[in-house]
Chain A
Amino acid sequence: MPDRVSIRIDGELIHAKLGQTILEAASATGKFIPSLCHLKGLKPVGACRLCLVEVAGVGRLLPSCTTPVQDGMAVTTRSERLDHYRRMILELIFAERNHICAVCVSNNHCELQALAKRLGVTHVRFPYSYPKAPVDATHRQFVLDQNRCILCTRCVRVCAEVEGAHVWDVGGRGVGSRLVCELNRNWAESRSCTSCGKCVQSCPTGALAAKGYAAEEMVKRAETISRLVEAKGARA
């Protein structure tokens, strides 16, 4: 069986490696597919649904971060339908919690904000739900603000897969889902947290931040997580 396959992305013929996902194959050729829960180096979960693409012959949309390439596949990454859904997803994310960009520590350095700008989300058509969400400031160095969490679970995965501590999980159901520390403890009470800060660096918004940073000051470096994973893989 050959280890390379040929697929078309937006009409362009691309040679991809067998086992690669559509998103990986597209990124390798410099194509942009929006995503929030995906972080190179972490296991994909297909949670945010922003990377949905159209695949010829398949009626439903498929998340490109979890769909492996197949020989002869024809993928469309931009269409009116996709734009419509992606914008709607972002609007729903904004409506679900209290994202107040202007006073956020991650203002101007936020993946959610940047993506909304890029995809032309200027208004939210859905009523905001304004949940009363807690802020966990108990940790000495870091703070978790549930108001800004989009449940991408990057922090959950980086902590479990890379640091091996598995401090974070998602508790609750549906719209009541919340990021929880161990079995729903305050962060300061965590017995497994190593205070490594990987969760903070991987968080796409201002939900996880280092303490003491004022508005606009929190600049994350999620790519360091990807490089770290790559380096670890090379050593192994």
Chain B
Amino acid sequence: MGQTIRIHHVTRIEGHARIDIHLDEAGKVRSTQFHVTQVRGFEKFTEGRPYYEMPAITARICGICPVSHLLASAKACDAVMAVQIPEAARLLRELLHCAQFVQSHALSFFYLSAPDLLLGFDSDPAARNVLGLIEKHPEAARDGIALRRFGQQTIERLAGERVHPAWVVPGGVNKAMSVDTRDLILSDLPLAHSIIRRTLRLFKSMLDQFPAESEVFGNMPTLHAGLVDADGRLQIYDGMVRFIDSAGKTAGRITRPREYAKWIGEAAMPDSYLKAPYFKPLGYPEGIYRVGPLARLNVAESCGTSDADRELLEYRQRLGRVVNGSFFYHYARLIEALYAIERMEELLHLPEILDKHVRAEAGVNSLEGVGIIEAPRGVLIHHYRVNEQGAITGANLIVATGHNNLAINHSVQQVAERFVDGMKLQEGALNRVNAVVRAYDPCLSCSTHAFGKPAYRLRLVGAGGEVIEET
């Protein structure tokens, strides 16, 4: 009987999780488990609600990416109404989502992961947080705060509120954008653009410092999935889901959202509240795939905006056409933030985005609706069934973090095997186990209920259950 190291809770992520590392007699890692420890129940308690309330209700799944849930839900409702929303509404929704990408990616990079990257994985855990970052790297911290503020402020300017706005509605949005709002957002874009360019330069200059992490942070062949348009360009609001294998060959395409279940199966795991979606043609658990920034840049042929495409070219020159190391999620995330900023500029310069007609109205025209969108963390699917009166009879939500569940589990195992030595518990090693989870920027609260205090505790438990060492 070996020992178990329990990391409870995993810190600097959104939501709550626990990692168990099981050791053999020699103190080597035998197996690891990534547990998501709370349940939410949105799919159940929304039954009976009128479908048009779903965007507001499901947005409450998350305080970090409510906009993504709002949009996925509104798209599913559009499908229930069987309407094509006005062009201005489509552009405004995409604009809102770009702002959401910027703020969420800024949060992930600067607040959650930069302490590891800039202060070091082995640095003093007491200062390895955003406050420590402010002390040691005030410019980077300032940039992070300013970039996130830009994203949040844009959301507020468009939708009225930073968190849980009521602006996105089934059929479109409930208010057109004014010229003043457009000009305000445009005036803030240059600053955001310069911050993200600066951050990319900084990150690239540091890449050589992390050879071991680059090699074992979830470096494995898996499928990748992400939204692209007909020309294979990166899409975050609409498009088709393309699956590629680890060599870049197309493995499948979800062209009609309603057909997602043909490609994606969902396995329940006995020790986690987070389901494990898998690529159906390969079965479970072989059908492991990744979503999110890394996967999206692997799946897309190009970004479609000039600066982001230049960065993407350099990224591929450094790392190859298909990047299979999850450490590079950070790199991909920064390129995507750049894309989102450039795309915002493109959208704001389209004259039709100011059109006053922003909402289509209709009742129930289809008893089923599926909305697929790219949340900052990856593909997000909302699937509703309704009765003829419009009451929800069934809801299925596949959140981005769920898709990555299998990959996160594998990555945790890989990192633990490389860094954790059961004979000597090292904080820096266990921090790397946390950090690989952070690379995926998981939003566990999206699939589970977040409560309790964010404690950080490491325990080395003996074969008889006694605690050998605890920090």
Asked if A212 CB lies within 8 Å of chain B CBs, one says yes
A170 to B53, CA, bound (A): 26
A89 to B379, CA, bound (A): 46
Asked if A102 CB lies within 8 Å of chain B CBs, one says yes
Contacts of B363 in A (CB 8 A): 140, 211-212
Chain A proximity of B360: nearest CB distance (Å)? 11
Asked if A228 CB lies within 8 Å of chain B CBs, one says no
Asked if B129 CB lies within 8 Å of chain A CBs, one says no
Q: Do A137 and B55 touch across chains, with their CB atoms under 8 A apart?
A: no
The residue of chain A having its C-beta at the shortest distance from the C-beta of B390 within the complex is A137
Contacts of B55 in A (CB 8 A): 214-215
Give the contact stretch, choosing among B166-174, B290-298, B441-449.
B166-174
Q: Do A137 and B50 touch across chains, with their CB atoms under 8 A apart?
A: yes
Chain B proximity of A89: nearest CB distance (Å)? 27
Q: Do B49 and A135 touch across chains, with their CB atoms under 8 A apart?
A: yes
Question: Given that A214-B169, A215-B166, A217-B169 are contacting pairs, would A103 and B53 also be in contact in the complex, using a CB cutoff of 8 Å?
Answer: yes
A105 to B53, CA, bound (A): 8
Where chain A touches its partner, the secondary structure class is loop
Q: Do B166 and A211 touch across chains, with their CB atoms under 8 A apart?
A: no
> Which chain A residues (95-112) contact chain B, with CB distance < 8 Å?
102-103, 105, 107
A188 to B174, CA, bound (A): 29
The residue of chain A having its C-beta at the shortest distance from the C-beta of B57 within the complex is A103
Q: Do B166 and A214 touch across chains, with their CB atoms under 8 A apart?
A: yes
A112 to B420, CA, bound (A): 57
> Which chain B residues (150-191) contact chain A, with CB distance < 8 Å?
164, 166, 169-170, 174
Contact with A along B382-414 (1 / 0, CB 8 A): 000001011100000000000000000000000
**Which of the residues B60, B361, B387 comes within 8 Å of A103, measured between beta carbons?**
B60
Q: Do B164 and A214 touch across chains, with their CB atoms under 8 A apart?
A: no
Asked if B281 CB lies within 8 Å of chain A CBs, one says no
Contacts of A213 in B (CB 8 A): 52
Contacts of A139 in B (CB 8 A): 389
Asked if B225 CB lies within 8 Å of chain A CBs, one says no
Q: Do B56 and A102 touch across chains, with their CB atoms under 8 A apart?
A: yes
Contacts of A217 in B (CB 8 A): 166, 169, 174
Name which of B53, B363, B390 has the most chain A CB atoms within 10 A of its CB.
Answer: B53
Q: Do A138 and B389 touch across chains, with their CB atoms under 8 A apart?
A: yes
A211 to B389, CA, bound (A): 10
Asked if B48 CB lies within 8 Å of chain A CBs, one says yes
Contact with B along A178-191 (1 / 0, CB 8 A): 00000000001000
A134 to B170, CA, bound (A): 23
Contacts of B48 in A (CB 8 A): 134-135
Contacts of B166 in A (CB 8 A): 107, 214-217
Contact with A along B190-201 (1 / 0, CB 8 A): 000000000000
Chain A proximity of B164: nearest CB distance (Å)? 7
Asked if A143 CB lies within 8 Å of chain B CBs, one says yes
Contacts of B174 in A (CB 8 A): 214, 217
A215 to B73, CA, bound (A): 13
Chain A proximity of B395: nearest CB distance (Å)? 14
**Which of the residues B60, B361, B391 comes within 8 Å of A137, measured between beta carbons?**
B391
Chain B proximity of A140: nearest CB distance (Å)? 8
Chain B interface, number of residues (Cβ within 8 angstroms): 20
Contacts of B164 in A (CB 8 A): 102
Question: Given that A135-B48, A216-B166 are contacting pairs, would A103 and B56 also be in contact in the complex, using a CB cutoff of 8 Å?
Answer: yes
Contact with A along B38-56 (1 / 0, CB 8 A): 0000000000111011011
Name which of B55, B57, B389 has the most chain A CB atoms within 10 A of its CB.
Answer: B389
A102 to B55, CA, bound (A): 12
A102 to B37, CA, bound (A): 26
Contact with A along B278-313 (1 / 0, CB 8 A): 000000000000000000000000000000000000
> Which chain A residues (181-228) contact chain B, with CB distance < 8 Å?
188, 211-217
Q: Do B52 and A214 touch across chains, with their CB atoms under 8 A apart?
A: yes
Contacts of B52 in A (CB 8 A): 211-214
A212 to B174, CA, bound (A): 12
A140 to B363, CA, bound (A): 9
Contacts of B56 in A (CB 8 A): 102-103, 214-216
A103 to B166, CA, bound (A): 9
Contacts of B53 in A (CB 8 A): 103, 105, 214-215
The residue of chain A having its C-beta at the shortest distance from the C-beta of B161 within the complex is A216
The residue of chain A having its C-beta at the shortest distance from the C-beta of B361 within the complex is A212
Q: Do B57 and A211 touch across chains, with their CB atoms under 8 A apart?
A: no
A212 to B387, CA, bound (A): 15
Name which of A135, A137, A217 has the most chain B CB atoms within 10 A of its CB.
Answer: A137
A143 to B387, CA, bound (A): 14
A211 to B166, CA, bound (A): 16
Chain B proximity of A198: nearest CB distance (Å)? 21
A137 to B389, CA, bound (A): 6
Contacts of B361 in A (CB 8 A): 212
Chain B proximity of A39: nearest CB distance (Å)? 25
> Which chain A residues (125-175) contact chain B, with CB distance < 8 Å?
134-135, 137-140, 143
Contacts of A214 in B (CB 8 A): 52-53, 55-56, 166, 169-170, 174
Q: Do A135 and B391 touch across chains, with their CB atoms under 8 A apart?
A: yes
Chain B proximity of A110: nearest CB distance (Å)? 14
The residue of chain B having its C-beta at the shortest distance from the C-beta of A139 within the complex is B389
Contacts of B389 in A (CB 8 A): 137-139, 188
Contacts of A102 in B (CB 8 A): 56, 60, 164
Chain A proximity of B163: nearest CB distance (Å)? 10
Q: List 20 A-B contacts (CB under 8 A).
A: A102-B56, A102-B164, A103-B53, A103-B60, A135-B48, A135-B391, A137-B387, A137-B389, A137-B391, A138-B389, A139-B389, A212-B52, A212-B170, A212-B363, A213-B52, A214-B56, A214-B169, A214-B170, A215-B56, A215-B166
A interface residues with partner B (beta carbon < 8 Å): 102-103, 105, 107, 134-135, 137-140, 143, 188, 211-217
Known: A143-B50, A211-B50, A216-B56. 8 other contacts (CB 8 A): A102-B60, A103-B56, A137-B389, A138-B389, A139-B389, A212-B170, A215-B53, A217-B166
B interface residues with partner A (beta carbon < 8 Å): 48-50, 52-53, 55-57, 60, 164, 166, 169-170, 174, 361, 363, 387, 389-391
Pairs of residues from A and B, 7 with the lowest C-beta to C-beta distance, nearest first: A215-B56, A137-B389, A214-B169, A216-B166, A103-B56, A137-B391, A103-B57
